[in-house]
Amino acid sequence: EMLESNNIINFNGLANSSSYHTFLLDEERGRLYVGAKDHIFSFNLVNIKEYQKIVWPVSHSRRDECKWAGKDILRECANFIKVLKTYNQTHLYACGTGAFHPVCTYIEVG
């Protein structure tokens, strides 16, 4: 039914990735934040086609450590965003897996 109504917008996002597991709806700012593999997307709720992308990859040294530990460098040795939380009026709190070395930060969102 939704397909027939033409109300669906396809998001191509990251090639060869289905790692969109973390979502934060921020009605105050009119944004939807989506955590993915090495990225955080910020969608405009008024015009969902408008989005910004924050790139947050794992460091090369952490990726190498992960590879040396026998993990799959393409599937496991990345920064999968797991936590997105509104911190205050200007920042989000975000955490990622950091290739098995968890990392968190504050992200300025305006």
Tokens encoding 15: 């090639």
62-78: burial string, b at 16+ Cβ within 10 Å, e else: bbebbeeeebeeeebbb
Model pLDDT for residues 50-69, shown as the tens digit of each residue:
899 999 999 999 999 999 99
What is the rounded distance in angstroms from the CA atom of residue 47 to the CA atom of residue 31? 10
Domain ranges of the chain: 18-108
Model pLDDT for residues 32-41, shown as the tens digit of each residue:
999 999 999 9
pTM: 0.84
Per-residue confidence (pLDDT) for residue 102, from 0 to 100: 96
Report the DSSP pairing between strands 81-86 and 31-35. Answer: unpaired
